[in-house]
Structure 1
Amino acid sequence: MIKPPPSSAQPPAPARRSARSVWSRNSDVRAVQIGVVATILVHVLLLVLAPKIEQWMELRSSSDSAEDWASRDFQIEMAPAEVVPETVQPPKFVEANPNAPDNAPDKTDNVAAQNQQVAQETPTPAGKSDAPASKGDPTTSSTAIVSGMQVEPQPPARRPPPSNEPETPAQEIARREQLPLSGTEKFEGDSADGIGSNVGKPAPNATGVPERVEGVADAKSDTGSRVGLYYKVDAKRPQSRPTLAPDIVKARPSPLANREFGTENIGAVAYNAKWSAYGEYMQKFIESVQIQWQRIIGQSNIYPTAGTKVVVKFIMDSKGDIPKIVSVESSGGRAAKDACVSAIVARAPYGAWPEDMIGVLGTSQEITFTFQYN
């Protein structure tokens, strides 16, 4: 039997094999290929459909009429405006002359640690200034009118504790009867063999005392106070006699401003100033900083060049603390700046402000101190 030749349907088999050869036989590579093709198709669709999507959004927005928007409710909350505190201008503080008499002026804007009425030793004809005339540095703006000697206050000396030893009978008798110091009697006479005495002879017209009166152990003086004990003098440790204190100004050493015109009032150099709690607080604060500054300079081995000027701006709060140093300007080196800043900060806090001072300045105030090395 003769077999028929192969049919013509068998040739497509090689074509299917060529279609399968587009994809890799490796499953991992084939997955990557499929992902790339899918990404390309998605981007093509987006490019084709993007204009149609934009047109659809425009039609959607135009469908809302003005009446629809007006009928909707809106809630608008306005944020409260930031309250900017006004800059508080403190009263004009001046340093009073402690040697001038206390005399309240009629009217002035100056405040100080005590009341004063402007005066000076040599009057200025027709002078009406609140400050006396003074000679100083024209570039210096100082609140002081006198420069003196400042002494750091010392704590009061404590008395020695009383002795626990019992008092002897002799000490008790000496205390109660106030016996004078014992001594020797002086004898004089003309006879070399005799014994003389410096006891005078009674006058011819002298009369005897009719009755001897004994003293009282607990006698009082004519003023009514109890007579004190006698104090022994140690010849090896003599004490200086009390002398009058020299006429010095007990004010801090400070450069003076140059003022050509002053007042026609004659008297001790003084400002026109009224006492206030702010003025008294500032005076004590300045003196404390001055003492600390001089102490730091004395303990330092480096002294800045004469003429060095340091300006320190800082914030003081109502508790007397120094929370911030705003700026430091110096014409000298770092040692000059550090000494001035330390003098301000070292003794903080300086005590809480009085109530009337808080009412004027608020809870904090910016203060400027100028230090000058001479």
Structure 2
Amino acid sequence: MSQTYVPPNPWDAVRRKWARWWDDPDARSVTIGLLGMLLVHLLLFLIGPHLLRHDPTGNSVLRPHSSAREFNIELAPDTFVQTPAEKPPPPMNFVEANPNAPDNVPDNTNNFAAQNQQVAQPTPTPDGKSDRPAIEGKADVQSTAIVSGQLTQPQEAMPAAAPVPEQPAATIEAPRRREVPLPGFEKTEGENESSYGSNIAKFAEGAKSVDQEVEGVEDAPLIQGATGAQPAIDPKRPRPRPQVVRQQQVRPAIFQENKFGTQNIGAIAYDAKWSNYGQYLQKMIETVQIQWERILIESRVYPVSGTHVRVVFVMNDQGAIARIANVEGTAGNQAEKACTSAITARAPYGEWTDDMKAVLGAEQELTFTFYYQ
């Protein structure tokens, strides 16, 4: 009996191993994932350069001679709108100007006042760079004033008085001068009949050749009949005494001490720029000062020296006092009422200008501090 050996087919072994491996779900998942990853990378390698290149004509064709392009945009003059340069903010610190200082616009300052001024003082401060002058005052006082004086109170309208007739100047006759004739009672006669006789006597002091003696004043003027004229003085209307020192027309103020000033020499002044708001506030402060002094005189009650009252109020764009926000101080209830009345009694203070409304809006909060000294 013969036997024939047939060699096994290698593909059968591969098929059997593949069948066993494919029947395993974990192995099948790994195989599918590897194949998918290889396929995706192959596609990206082939079509990636075409996807990343952008052609505005829509043709994804690589042009070897293409180059970058430049372009300019030109706008017509009527369509081009230029953004206006931002204006610097207006100064916001109010100070009271010296009316006797010269008008001079400062270079740069955050102060505004009723007129342009450049900081100066009579005695310079070495290397001083301050925008306010050196001044002696009180350290516990907040004041914007640098000069003090007296404001003239407004006179009430009174009916015109009847004109007083002018009196003629009184005529005063000059005193007569005393005259003394030459003395002499003794007579002498010569022997010669053709000679002259004479009276012999001692010459009296002041004697002159006059006919008779005249009573009068020894040192009277030599011109007789001279007259002098001087106006008659009415005791009911005495003449005012001439003032040697003229006070400045500014409100009486208390100064805040400042030791470091400026090296500029001149009339004492701040660095300040003029504005309508500064002029408005200056006039308002002077009006309140006059009204406050008038209230104190009429009440005949003056608070304790060294006390103060601080009034916070709101003013609208018509110059009226919209409301009193807060009143506090150390002078007492009656002093607080006097300060509040000094602010409200003379309101409104006038409508604001257009530039004031643009900066301040419809209302502005102010703080006035009254010091009793």
Bucket of the pairwise TM-score, normalised by the shorter protein: 0.5 to 0.7
- Residue 91 of structure 2 contacts residue 110 of structure 2 at CA under 8 Å; is this kept in 1? no
Choose the corresponding residue for 2:211, options 166, 191, 216: 191
Counterparts in 2 of 1:102 and 1:181: CA distance versus 1, 3 Å: same
Aligned partners of 2:91 and 2:111 also within 8 Å: no
Query: Are the structure 2 counterparts of residues 139 and 199 from structure 1 closer, same or farther at C-alpha, using a change threshold of 3 Å?
Result: closer
The alpha-carbon distance between structure 1 residues 117 and 90, as it changes in their structure 2 partners (threshold 3 A), is closer
Q: How many residue pairs were aligned?
A: 247
Higher strand fraction: Structure 1 or Structure 2?
A: 2
The 3-state SS of whatever aligns with 1:295 is helix
CA deviation string 1:276-331 (max 9, x = no partner): 21111101111111111112222224332222221111000111110100111122
Q: Which residue of 1 aligns with 2:363?
A: 364
Name the counterpart of 1:129: 130
Three-state SS of the structure 1 residue aligned to 2:283 is: helix
Q: Flag the structure with higher helix content.
A: 1
Name the structure 1 match of 2:291.
292
Look up the SS of the partner of 1:154 in the other structure.
coil
Distance 1:322 1:297 in 2: 21
Q: Name the CA distance, whole Å, in 1 between partners of 2:157 and 2:370.
A: 31
Aligned to 1:216: none
Name the CA shift for 1:186/1:292 in 2 (closer, same or farther; >3 Å). Answer: closer
Aligned to 1:353: 352
CA distance in 2, matches of 1:89, 1:272: 14
Query: For residues 323-358 of structure 1, what are the alpha-carbon distances to aligned partners after superposition, in whole Å with 9 as ceiling and x for unaligned?
Result: 100111122321121111111111111111222222
Paired with 1:239 and 1:302, the residues of 2 have a C-alpha distance of 32
Aligned residue in 2 for 1:336? 335
What secondary structure, in the 3-state scheme, does the structure 1 residue paired with 2:132 have? coil
- Asked if 1:275 is matched to 2:295, the reply is no
Distance 1:134 1:279, change over 3 A: same
Which protein is bigger by CA-based radius of gyration?
2
**5+ long unaligned stretches in structure 2:** 1-88, 180-209, 215-221
Q: Structure 1 unaligned runs (5+)?
A: 1-87, 164-170, 172-178, 201-229
Report the Cα offset of residue 97 of structure 1: 1.4
CA distance in 1, matches of 2:295, 2:161: 33
CA contact (8 A) 1:96 1:114 kept: yes
Structure 1 residue matching 2:370: 3-state secondary structure: strand
Partner of 2:96: 95
- 1:142 and 2:162 correspond: no
TM (normalized to structure 1)? 0.56
SS of the aligned residue for 2:295 comes to helix
Letter in 1 for 2:94: F
Q: 1:329 to 1:235 in 2, by over 3 A?
A: closer
TM-score when normalising by structure 2? 0.56
**1:369: how far off?**
0.7
Q: CA, structure 1 residues 160+300, in 2 after alignment: closer, same or farther (shift >3 Å)?
A: closer
Q: CA deviation at 1:98?
A: 2.1
Instruction: Provide closer, same or farther for how the CA distance between residues 261 and 341 of structure 1 changes in structure 2, counting only shifts above 3 A.
Output: same
Any idea what the Cα deviations from partners look like across 1:98-141, whole Å, max 9, x if unmatched? 23233332332221112222111111011111110112222222
Q: Is the 8 A contact 2:134 2:261 kept in 1?
A: yes
Aligned residues of 1:89 and 1:361 also touching (Cα < 8 A): no
Output one character per residue of 1:55-96: Cα deviation in whole Å (capped at 9) or x when no partner.
xxxxxxxxxxxxxxxxxxxxxxxxxxxxxxxxx997221101
Cα distance in structure 2, aligned partners of 1:260 and 1:111 = 22
| Cα separation, 2, equivalents of 1:129 and 1:324 | 36
Is the CA contact 1:90–1:360 (under 8 Å) kept in the aligned structure 2? no
Look up the SS of the partner of 1:314 in the other structure: strand
Change (3 A) 1:185 1:98: closer
In structure 2, relative to structure 1, the CA distance for the partners of 1:311 and 1:298 (3 Å cut) is same
Alignment CA distance shift 1:185-1:257 (3 Å): closer
